Amino acid sequence: MSISSKTSKFVVGVDNKKHDAAPNDNGDDDDDDYMSDKFLINDNSSQKTSLLHSHKQKYEHERYKRRMECQPKSKQIIKAMEEEKRQAGLSKPLLDPENKGFRLLQKMMTKTNDKIGSSSSCDQETNLKRKTVEQLIMERRPIDIELRIGRKGLGHESSVRNKRLKSESINKDNKRNFDQIDQDKFLRYRVEKSEKLLAKKDYFSLQKICYNLDHQSNESITGSPPPPPQEEWYWPKEFLAALRAKNDDEENEDEKNDDDEDEDDDENEIDYQERLEQLDHYVRSEYFYCLWCGCRYDSNVDLIDNCPGNTRQLH
């Protein structure tokens, strides 16, 4: 037998041994089943859950998230967050058992109960105090939060408001005083004006009465027209002008007329009250006549006894 035949037999024997041993060792066929669970599990485990396949994309994504967190929020977002936190804080009950202040208050009340004793009056007072404290806690309201927008300091608005109120009160007081002064001035003016008008009216009436009394007295004594009075303004101007027309010539009459025109110019400066007092004194002393009584008395004694006085106000 040749060497080649021996070799081929050896190779064939080895191959046969391999094919014979495989079923014995594994108990399976030579072909792999790619639809088995082994391959399916391996394929599923090899899949990645993240959508970012590369390491660079993951790094950029994490960097973007950190940058967005550190980026300052807008005013509207901040305001909304503050409002949410505020409402959440206000919605919490005041008498929460977890509240430290309430628990401390309860401990204090229990300690006072232990110290006071078990008497009914003390218990009533303690219950009343507890109810009062609870009512005060329930009635407590949070302080309103005022957001300051401007750059003015604290207390500036209150100081400006106080100054404005003070100035307004001062202005009101001044206006009230001025109004009172103006009102008093107006009343005094009206009173003085009415008194001047009455004095002027009484003065003109007393002029006519004085002329008649002088005329009657002179006629009863001498039977002739009376001479001019002591003062020209004792008589009315028209009566005095008529008397001068009889006694004087035309030249003197013209001069007197010029003088009368000058007196007309100064009529506004005449003090009728003073003239009335002087003329009334003359009529009373000479003829015992009272203008406001409207009668002539027999004597000075009769005038003093029956006449109330020498003014309109006394009558």
53-99 pLDDT, tens digit per residue, is 678 888 888 888 888 777 666 777 888 888 998 888 888 766 666 77
Average pLDDT over residues 283-290: 90
Give the up-direction half-sphere exposure of residue 136: CA atoms within 13 A in the CB hemisphere. 8
Pairwise pLDDT comparison (53 vs 176), residue with the higher score = 176
Helix or strand or coil: residue 289? Answer: strand
Q: Is the pLDDT of residue 200 over 80?
A: yes
Predicted pLDDT at 34: 63
215 CB-near residues (< 8 Å, 6+ apart) = 225, 226
- 267/66: higher pLDDT: 66
**Dihedral sign, CA of 82, 87, 88, 92?**
positive
Cα 296 from Cα 307, distance rounded (Å): 10
Total Cβ atoms within 10 A of residue 86: 12
Question: How far, in Å, CA of 21 to CA of 215, rounded?
Answer: 187
3-state SS assignment for residue 213: helix
Mean pLDDT of 282-295: 89
Show me where the domains of the chain are located. 198-306
Q: How many CB atoms lie within 10 A of CB 90?
A: 9
pLDDT at residue 146, as a whole number? 72
Q: What average pLDDT score do residues 207-215 get?
A: 88
- Strand-pairing partners, residue 296, are 289
* Secondary structure letter of residue 308 according to DSSP: -
Q: How confident is the model at residue 143 (pLDDT cuts 50, 70, 90)?
A: low
Question: pLDDT at residue 263 above 60?
Answer: no
CB 234 within 8 Å of CB 285: no
What does the chain come to in residues? 315
Which element (helix H / strand E) includes 240?
Answer: helix 237-247
**Tokens at 281, concatenated:** 């004194």
Residue 8: pLDDT over 50: no
Q: Where are the strands (E) in the chain, listed by range?
A: 289-290, 295-296
pLDDT tens track for 297-313: 988 888 888 888 888 88
Identify whether the C-beta of residue 280 lies closer than 8 Å to the C-beta of residue 250: no
pLDDT at 218: 78
Query: How many angstroms separate the CA atoms of 113 and 107, rounded?
Result: 10
Query: Could you give the CA distance from residue 104 to residue 96 in angstroms, rounded to a whole number?
Result: 12
Radius of gyration of the chain (CA): 65
Pick the range with the lowest mean pLDDT from 6-20, 75-89, 138-152, 258-272.
6-20
The Cα 203–Cα 291 span in angstroms is 10
Q: Determine the Cα–Cα distance for residues 234 and 277; give it in Å rounded to an integer.
A: 11
